[in-house]
Amino acid sequence: MKKILIVEDDHSLYKMYATELEFRGYSVVWEENGDLAIDRAEKENPALILLDIMLPGKDGLTILSELKSSAAIRDIPVFVITNFGEEGNIKKAIETGAADFLLKYKIVPSELADKVDEFFGNKKRGVPIT
């Protein structure tokens, strides 16, 4: 079972994402404070990190830079997921090593889970409509 670390300060968003990802067979852990995100990533060693930009403590782009600078965790792929889709944020995230950049207001939890499934090479697991 692949573990996903969600770094998100909005508990309701975390729960929506976690519910969909757990339904699809992923293990999900959560960190809401940017200052604790690096330690949590090192402790949990997730297969993927979903990282918000606006967080208490360190912001997501700073965390991404620190993640990619750490030999122990630099290979963990990161999806930046935010409401702030300014070109500068997108460019910095991709240049720093984000595997994807997703806008919260343009994606529902099932679509996020589809992106995660696609990233790991899993087939979509939706219920067929007959």
- Can you give the CATH number for the domain in which 22 is found? 3.40.50.2300
Residues 32-73: tens digit of each pLDDT: 999 999 999 999 999 999 999 999 999 999 999 999 999 999
Q: Which percentage of the chain shows pLDDT scores above 90?
A: 86
Query: With pLDDT > 70 as the criterion, what percentage of the chain qualifies?
Result: 94
In a domain, 126, yes or no: no
Domain assignment of residue 130, yes or no? no
Q: Are 81 and 52 in contact (CB under 8 A)?
A: yes
Domain membership flag for residue 125: no
The pLDDT assigned to 57 comes to 93
Instruction: Supply the pTM of this predicted model.
Output: 0.92
Q: Does a structural domain hold residue 28?
A: yes
Neighbours of 37 (CB within 10 A): 25
In a domain, 25, yes or no: yes
Q: How far is CA 25 from CA 10, 36, 75, 124, in A?
A: 23, 26, 22, 12
Confidence band (pLDDT; 50, 70, 90) for 92?
very high
Q: Cα(23)–Cα(103) distance, rounded to whole angstroms?
A: 22
Contact 28, 4 (CB under 8 A): yes
pLDDT for the residue 130: 45
Number of domains in the chain: 1
> Does residue 64 lie in a domain region?
yes
Question: Is there a domain that residue 128 lies in?
Answer: no
In the predicted model, is pLDDT for residue 128 greater than 50?
no
Residue 127 maps to a domain? no
Structural domain boundaries enclosing 65: 3-119
What pLDDT is stored for residue 58 in this prediction?
95
